[in-house]
Amino acid sequence: MTQPKPIILSAFTMAAVSHINYGMWRHPDEQGWRYNDLSYWTELARLLEDNHFDCLFIADALGLLDNWQASPAASLRQGIQSPLIDPLLLVSAMAAATKRLGFGITVSTTYEQPYLLARKFTTLDHLTKGRIAWNVVTSQLDSAARNLGLDAQMDHDERYERADEFLEVSYKLWQYSWQRDALRRDKQTGIYTDPTKVRPVNHHGRWFSVPDAHLSEPSPQRTPVLFQAGGSPRGIDFAARHAEVVFVAGLDAAGVRRQVRAIKQRARDYGRGPESIRFISGVTVITAENAAAAQHKFTQLREYYDLQGALVHYAASTGVDLSGHDLDSPLDWQYTNANQSLLKMVTGEPGQPRKTLREVFLPAQGLGRQRVFVGDGEQVADHLEQWLEESETDGINLAQWLAPESFRDFSQWVIPVLRARGRLNPAGTHATLRQRLFPSGNDEPPADHPAQQLAD
């Protein structure tokens, strides 16, 4: 009998008062308002590690949500992804409180510099002993562009051009600059590093000029595990070339499966193997000791759900002001300079049926734009296994609707069932996050990844 594959378990959150759990900050049990308290994050990290989660995936943004009636007022008033702090600065404390949990951190290639960011990720990978992932994004908010030195946001595809070169420079710094035997630490000869084995990267491109060597010695993974979530044609191409874990979003398994297959096919065009990319999808789970209790909890959450808040967030993400759009009218496709794949969640792909905003954001058995599973532990585990099979994905990015109750409920009622079915990664058997996600691999990217084409 074939041994079942472990399910990748990623917990999805943001360093904000709320993320996609629209309106839930008003719930009496919600603790997300503690987002700027360090103990909130260390407690969350320990909860996840103790219950077999592989990774904490932290979303981020660099601007206010301000295209709802051309103002940030609605997002500020309703606590939609604001206020917000820097997730990169939280990881050291969470890493000190854990031993196995990985951390996926969102950082934009549009507003960073590869020479500086390479050192930050190398530092965190050292301090965590190889538990770092980078969720590579190109950003989508005009407000970020205005406040970070640009008159307007760069063109959608041009942002990916910059991101391609950003990663090329990063690979040179991480994989090429320091040879593996450069460190001597020889107290007898007084040589700490052999300078002949530390090489300048000599990069001079369209976007970046980085002539010198990496500041930091290689970390356990050298290159952090690369997460990505692009769904536009250009985003799919970028993911197929660079990503090791792709975060796919969708309400139906068939739509997610189409995206998975498109990325896999493009990856084959780049010479990457069929197992070189893992796929995780965003889901919401409402669970309790029995089905009736889970349904009651779902009904209660629906009472707090902020539909307008969901639309404010979606409008900012897609670049379309929805403040005057009828909830029950289909949304037409239009080119925007923001998140095109997310817009197609409502407008549909060519030839696919269009949805209304109400169908996506207020379905009878849903909460917002993620697939929702409601039930006891056995029922949820059944739903998850069926979803993974039908969508051809490898794991989930579990949304946190009540912090940290959603993760605690999942740990109490679903984790024991998944453990009994052999669907969890064994604790403590993999040294780094990359080994945990790719048990047959090693600490560094595989030979077919573009990072290794620049390795020493």
In sequence order, what DSSP letters do the residues of 15-61 get, joined into one string? SBS-SSSTTGGGSTT--GGGTT-HHHHHHHHHHHHHTT--EEEEE--
pLDDT at 361: 82
The residue whose two tokens read 């010198």 is 212
Q: Residue 438: left if φ>0, alpha if ψ -120 to 50, beta else—which one?
A: beta
pLDDT at 340: 66
pLDDT at 403: 95
Average pLDDT over residues 275-294: 96
Cα 93 to Cα 99: distance, rounded to the nearest angstrom: 12
DSSP strand E in 363-427: where? 371-375, 395-399
Instruction: Quick: pLDDT tens for 7-17.
Output: 999 999 999 99
pLDDT at 141: 85
- HSE-up (13 A, CA, CB side) for residue 380: 30
Omega before 450 within 30 of 0, i.e. cis:
no
Among 168-177, 250-259, 293-302, 371-380, the least confident range = 250-259
Cα 438 to Cα 245: distance, rounded to the nearest angstrom: 10
Average pLDDT over residues 225-239: 91
- Domain-embedded: residue 343: no
Task: Give the highest mean pLDDT range of 98-112, 246-260, 312-326.
Answer: 98-112
- Domain-embedded: residue 38: yes
Higher pLDDT, 79 or 344: 79
Q: Exposure of 306 by Cβ count < 10 A (0-12 exposed, 13-18 middle, 19+ buried)?
A: buried
DSSP strand E in 80-131: where? 102-108
Average pLDDT over residues 251-277: 93
- Domain-embedded: residue 357: no
Least Cα distance to 97 among 131, 61, 46 occurs for: 46
Q: What is the DSSP string of 317-338?
A: HHT---TTS-TTSBPPP---SS
CATH number of residue 217's parent domain: 3.20.20.30
Q: Are 235 and 160 in contact (CB under 8 A)?
A: yes
Higher pLDDT, 119 or 148: 119
Higher pLDDT, 99 or 347: 99
- Domain-embedded: residue 50: yes
Average pLDDT over residues 120-127: 98
Residue 34, token pair as written in the block: 């503690």
For the packed helices 340-347 and 307-318, what is the interaxial angle rounded to 10 degrees? 130
Q: Please give the share of the chain, as a percent, with pLDDT higher than 90.
A: 73
pLDDT at 326: 83
Least Cα distance to 3 among 392, 395, 423 occurs for: 423
Cα 296 to Cα 158: distance, rounded to the nearest angstrom: 47
Instruction: Quick: pLDDT tens for 32-71.
Output: 999 999 999 999 999 999 999 999 999 999 999 998 898 9
Average pLDDT over residues 162-182: 96
- Domain-embedded: residue 354: no
Least Cα distance to 117 among 207, 264, 223 occurs for: 223
Instruction: Quick: pLDDT tens for 240-249.
Output: 999 999 999 8
Average pLDDT over residues 177-198: 94
Q: What single letter denotes the amino acid at residue 413?
A: W
Omega before 404 within 30 of 0, i.e. cis:
yes
Number of structural domains in the chain: 1
Cα 125 to Cα 130: distance, rounded to the nearest angstrom: 5
Q: In the chain, count of helices (H) and strands (E)?
A: 16, 13
Angle at CA of residue 247, ends 161 and 320, nearest 5°: 65
DSSP strand E in 54-162: where? 55-59, 102-108, 132-137
Residue 401 — very low, low, confident or very high, per pLDDT cuts 50/70/90? very high
Q: Are 182 and 197 in contact (CB under 8 A)?
A: yes
Q: Are 162 and 109 in contact (CB under 8 A)?
A: yes
- Domain-embedded: residue 168: yes
Range of the domain at 59: 8-314+368-454
Q: What single letter denotes the amino acid at residue 376?
A: D
Q: Are 5 and 395 in contact (CB under 8 A)?
A: no
Mean pLDDT of the chain: 92
Q: Name the maximum alpha-carbon separation found in the chain.
A: 77
* DSSP 8-state class, residue 363: -
- Domain-embedded: residue 342: no
Least Cα distance to 214 among 186, 182, 189, 250 occurs for: 182
- Domain-embedded: residue 347: no
